[in-house]
Amino acid sequence: MKRIVTAMVFALVVSSCLVRTGYAQAKSENLEGRITISGAWALYPMAVKWAEEFQKVYPNIKVDISAGGAGKGMADCLAKVIDLGMVSRDINPEEVKRGALGFSVTKDAVVATISANNPAIKDILAKGITKEIFQDIFITGKAKTWGEVVKSSSTDAVNVYTRSDACGAAETWAKYLGKKQEDLVGIGVYGDPGVAEAVKKDALGIGYNNINFAYDSTTKTPVDGIRVVPIDVNGDGLIDEKEDVYRDLPTITAAIADGRYPSPPARELFFVSNGNPERKEVRAFLRWVLTDGQKFVPAAGFVNVTQERIDEDLQKLGNN
């Protein structure tokens, strides 16, 4: 038994040395250049953190990142005007045919958001909202008052906000409700920050946001003026202990990781290239994100993808 344990430890040490040697070799190449990235608001905060840390390792590589929605990231990628697109939804077969190659780099989720000043907030947070009522709010428009949402006498109107830009948050939220982004109703607002601000200012408003725009990155609690709407998964009209995962960012990311938060709206986030990247600096960045870069994921408010997924994507990059 002792020999087996010793062999296992030796194998781990050798494996670790091989990884370090590989990076030492990559660093010795003195890579330089510029990597351009655009796309999903959801992945933007994580991508910025990765870029900052990657440039400490490779100071001669500049990483330029801009947000603008998953639709823009995919379009820019397929048009080859950027190196990598940030995409916060599944990559469809037509995009794959056109050359889209996805690398699953982290996970997050989309959540429903309301104003902290909503007059029905106590009932909403205690009872939650079922998937069926969300459908009546965001798809059919049947739920026109907050009384209809929380089963009370309130006649306050429900003001619905959705995304005006092609984006993964809208596509993911619509997928959870059994539809596509174009089926969502409401006042169209550009970008994650735009929806969050619109909901914050409207006491009767409801929208949806990626978790890193619904929660404050410093306090890890919901953004000032916003509350995250619990999903009544089992439909019993009460948010029980298992469903109560919304109090802060660490709690909801833990629920995403262990499957307590439904998928969708939990989802994987991707870097997408047009074909397998040819430039060494782009390949080095992707390989670093999938290995060393994963240690920065939890502190940034995201969820690590499985090692199996990472291994699959490293195989796409090969050994070059």
Same domain? For 232 and 120 the reply is yes
Domain-embedded: residue 117: yes
Domain-embedded: residue 133: yes
Regions of the chain with pLDDT less than 70: 1-29, 320
Domain-embedded: residue 139: yes
Q: What is the residue type of 159?
A: N
Domain-embedded: residue 124: yes
DSSP secondary-structure letter at 165?
S
Q: Count of domains in the chain?
A: 2
State how far the Cα of 233 lies from the Cα of 119, in Å rounded to an integer.
Answer: 23
Q: What is the pLDDT of residue 25?
A: 39
Same domain? For 215 and 93 the reply is no
Domain-embedded: residue 2: no
- Find all residues with CB under 8 Å of 53, minimum gap 6, and list them: 293, 296
Domain-embedded: residue 13: no
Q: What is the pTM of this model?
A: 0.89
Render pLDDT for 17-60 as a digit per residue (tens, 0 to 9).
Answer: 333 334 433 454 689 999 999 999 999 999 999 999 999 999 99
Q: Residue 46: which CATH number? A: 3.40.190.10
Asked if 316 and 62 touch (Cβ cutoff 8 Å), the reply is no
Same domain? For 113 and 186 the reply is yes
Same domain? For 254 and 183 the reply is yes
**DSSP SS3 for 160:** strand
Counting beta carbons within 10 angstroms of the beta carbon of residue 254, is it exposed (0 to 12), middle (13 to 18) or buried (19 or more)?
A: middle
Domain-embedded: residue 8: no
Same domain? For 249 and 128 the reply is yes
Same domain? For 191 and 279 the reply is no
Domain-embedded: residue 16: no
User: Which residues constitute the domain of residue 46?
Assistant: 30-106+274-317
Same domain? For 126 and 193 the reply is yes
**DSSP SS3 for 116:** coil
Q: Position of tokens 């947070």? A: 125
State how far the Cα of 264 lies from the Cα of 175, in Å rounded to an integer.
Answer: 7
Q: What is the pLDDT of residue 30?
A: 81
